[in-house]
Amino acid sequence: MCELCNLKRKTQWYYVNENFIICDCRSCGIRMLVFRAHGPRPKIEHNEARELIIWLYGNRIIKVRMKPKKITLHEHWHIILEEES
């Protein structure tokens, strides 16, 4: 069973819609965007995710880490903000 498919509110959640959840990562504490659907996502969803991150965080974004470390089968991105570096 995929931990991100069945995401529980065990950390702070910042944004929720039908495609994405933005919350703090339980492992590292960094904010992350979780795609609600399991598996690799199409380019259009990547574009929507980028637009959402820019809309929410703008100039505070230092880096968006798209390469997973622990959970590799469910796409999610870590959002590194200036106050978290």
Alpha-carbon distance of 20 to 60, in angstroms, equals 20
pTM for the complete prediction? Answer: 0.89
CB 11 within 8 A of CB 3: no
- How would you label 18-50 residue by residue, b for 16+ Cβ within 10 Å and e otherwise? eebbbbebeeeeebbbbbbeeeebeeebeebbe
- For residue 1, name the pLDDT band (cuts at 50, 70, 90): confident
pLDDT at 38 exceeding the cut of 80: yes
What mean pLDDT is reported for the chain?
93
Least confident of 26-30, 33-37, 69-73: 69-73
Q: Radius of gyration (Cα) for the chain, nearest Å?
A: 12
